[in-house]
Amino acid sequence: MIHVDAAIIGFGKGGKTLAGALAAAGKSVAMIERSSGMYGGTCINVACIPTKSLVHSAALSTVQGGTFADKAARYRQAIERKNFVTSTLRGKNYHKLADNPNIEVLAGEASFIDSHRLGVMMTDGTKTTLEAKWIFINTGAVPFVPPVPGLKESKFFYTSDSLMELTRLPERMVIIGGGYIGMEFASMFTNFGSQVTVVQNEAAFLPREDAEIAQTVLESLTARGIRLIRSAKVQDVRDDDGKAIVAVETAEGVEHLAAEAVLVATGRRPSVAGLNLEAAGVALTDRGAIRTDEHLKTTAPDVWAMGDVAGGLQFTYISLDDYRIVASQLLGDGSRTTANRGAVPYSVFIDPPFSRVGMSEQEALEKGYEIKVAKLPVAAIPKALVLNDQTGLLKAVVDAKTGLILGAHFFCEESYEMINLVKLAIDAKLPYQTLKNAIYTHPTMSEALNDLFVSLQ
Ligand SMILES: Cc1cc2nc3c(=O)[nH]c(=O)nc-3n(C[C@H](O)[C@H](O)[C@H](O)COP(=O)(O)OP(=O)(O)OC[C@H]3O[C@@H](n4cnc5c(N)ncnc54)[C@H](O)[C@@H]3O)c2cc1C
């Protein structure tokens, strides 16, 4: 039996950062990871980093043009580049923990025996038992695949994980699911040269976003040749002579879409299978995530959950913030909680990217705020002309009484950088006039914040 101060199940962002911090504080740590291809977690191996490497390559490819064969060759190179990026980071992540004398990395799958003991089925077939003072569950999430007849059996079926291994550019791609991940892949594969159709069951496009911004995004994607079929149900998928045929039912009837790749992007569910949580007394929420309090403590003593498995927003930086919350209790003053994270921004890496922080106009009104709304078309920003992409809209919602910024929605080049400035202003409780009157470097997209807020006068 191995005895440690802390056992961490899953090599995710929160867990690996916590491992380093606890080891630095002199604690003995065991990191248990079931897949050698996942050292460093989902983000660097199959999600944020590889997809953004491909998004970058796809944007370069689209300006180069050429035949489909030229584009397919560039796609293969992009996959090679992506593989180099992920394997480099995987190695660095592994050694950062494995080379630390206070940390032992165990290659195996963990399940609870009780709230202080884990059984580990090692990848070499042996079994190990581990006893820990503290246990942290950081097992992430897995793609949800809807029960569509023939889908899983199709050899053209992909999740976002398996799509990372596809080396042949599909001429036609059907994406089931019109959420953020579906849209990122739609935009990226369109830039690589595939013909993309997105099928979603909801009537509204990006229903949680500001309606005007969502409409602008929709028009831009449509103008780039992406077809979106809404209020649709996928009846079945069957393979036929080198392609899949996806039967899609709408109010107009049934349409059969041919595709060399069918990507399912219908969400990710907390990864709890096989953990034997009942043995430890760790309870789940109605949505299947691990139930935690605002300190990320589970219903079992000395057991915490972090990242996607804890059911919050599925972002790497939330998992990292979960580390801060746990470290605050174990190594600090315990003041950081899920309730005081500050404003959480996010970006969807379509082309151009869409980024958001805070409330939409509608949400602010529903909460009873008296608001002012600032808007700026991207065509008015000099840097957008320099970048040769004048698509988009900037929108901000301000509390009319205090001048504090309630929310911002940017659909434009480099919005993923700009949004962090607004996040800082919201957290620091700076009024919009601070951003309006600030000096910014030129020519940049950030300087558009001057003009955006001038529109409120
Ligand atoms: C296509 C895609 C693109 C994304 N892009 C972004 C982005 O641009 N920015 C962003 O912030 N977020 C993005 N995300 C979300 C982000 O990847 C996740 O929120 C984040 O990686 C979750 O990290 P985590 O700490 O919860 O755990 P993970 O990194 O998911 O790690 C969990 C680990 O636990 C292991 N594991 C599971 N069960 C066991 C067990 N029983 N025993 C041992 N090991 C186990 C798994 O193998 C895995 O390595 C994206 C997601 C996807 C799918």
Domain ranges for the chain? 2-142+269-340, 157-266, 346-454
In the DSSP assignment, the letter for residue 64 is H
| Residue in 31, 130, 316, 322 to alter for ligand 1 test, most ligand atoms within 8 A of Cβ | 316
In short, whether 354's Cβ falls inside 6 Å of ligand 1 is no
Q: Is 153 exposed, middle or buried (0-12, 13-18, 19+ CB in 10 A)?
A: exposed
In short, whether 138's Cβ falls inside 6 Å of ligand 1 is yes
Contact 436, 454 (CB under 8 A): yes
Q: Spell out the per-residue pLDDT of the chain, length 457, in tens.
A: 999 999 999 999 999 999 999 999 999 999 999 999 999 999 999 999 999 999 999 999 999 999 999 999 999 999 999 999 999 999 999 999 999 999 999 999 999 999 999 999 999 999 999 999 999 999 999 999 999 999 999 999 999 999 999 999 999 999 999 999 999 999 999 999 999 999 999 999 999 999 999 999 999 999 999 999 999 999 999 999 999 999 999 999 999 999 999 999 999 999 999 999 999 999 999 999 999 999 999 999 999 999 999 999 999 999 999 999 999 999 999 999 999 999 999 999 999 999 999 999 999 999 999 999 999 999 999 999 999 999 999 999 999 999 999 999 999 999 999 999 999 999 999 999 999 999 999 999 999 999 999 988 7
Distance 21 CA to ligand 1 centre (A): 20
Q: Which residues contact 196 (CB under 8 A, 6 or more apart)?
A: 172, 173, 174, 175, 185, 186, 189, 190, 225, 226, 227
Token pair in block for residue 189 = 């594969």
In short, whether 179's Cβ falls inside 6 Å of ligand 1 is no
Residue (of 177, 153, 157, 174) closest to 165 by Cα position? 157
Distance 308 CA to ligand 1 centre (A): 7
- Count of positions (residues) in the chain: 457
In short, whether 264's Cβ falls inside 6 Å of ligand 1 is no
How many CA atoms lie within 13 Å of 113's alpha carbon, on the beta-carbon side?
13
In short, whether 192's Cβ falls inside 6 Å of ligand 1 is no
Contact 232, 203 (CB under 8 A): no
Do the domains 2-142+269-340 and 346-454 sit in the same CATH topology, yes or no? no
Contact 57, 74 (CB under 8 A): yes
CATH entry 3.50.50.60 includes domain 2-142+269-340: yes
Residue (of 406, 412, 395) closest to 354 by Cα position? 412
Query: 431 preceded by cis ω (within 30°)?
Result: no
Q: Which fold has domain 157-266?
A: FAD/NAD(P)-binding domain (3.50.50)
Buried b (16+ CB within 10 A) or exposed e, 174-189: bbbbbbbbbbbbbbbb
Distance 22 CA to ligand 1 centre (A): 21
- The rounded distance, in Å, linking the Cα atoms of 132 and 260 is 48
Token pair in block for residue 361 = 């106009």
Token pair in block for residue 193 = 């040269």
Token pair in block for residue 132 = 């820990």
- The rounded distance, in Å, linking the Cα atoms of 72 and 193 is 8
H-run or E-run covering 86: helix 68-98
Distance 403 CA to ligand 1 centre (A): 38
- The rounded distance, in Å, linking the Cα atoms of 227 and 428 is 41
- How many Å is the maximal CA-CA distance in the chain? 70
Is the model's pTM score more than 0.85? yes
What's the gap between Cα 370 and its chain centre?
32
In short, whether 51's Cβ falls inside 6 Å of ligand 1 is yes
- The rounded distance, in Å, linking the Cα atoms of 297 and 306 is 9
| Three-state DSSP class for residue 348 | strand
Give the residue whose CA is nearest to atom 45 of ligand 1.
10
| Residue in 139, 187, 276 to alter for ligand 1 test, most ligand atoms within 8 A of Cβ | 139
In short, whether 321's Cβ falls inside 6 Å of ligand 1 is no
| Residue in 48, 282, 341, 354 to alter for ligand 1 test, most ligand atoms within 8 A of Cβ | 48
The structural architecture, per CATH, of the domain 346-454 is: 2-Layer Sandwich (3.30)
Q: What angle do CA 158, 164, 167 make, to 5 degrees?
A: 95
**Does the annotation count 442 as an active-site position?**
yes
Distances from the Cα of 239 to the Cα of 50, 143, 150, 312, 451, angstroms: 28, 22, 8, 37, 53
How many CA atoms lie within 13 Å of 274's alpha carbon, on the beta-carbon side?
11
In degrees and rounded to multiples of 5, residue 313 shows phi and psi of -65, 135
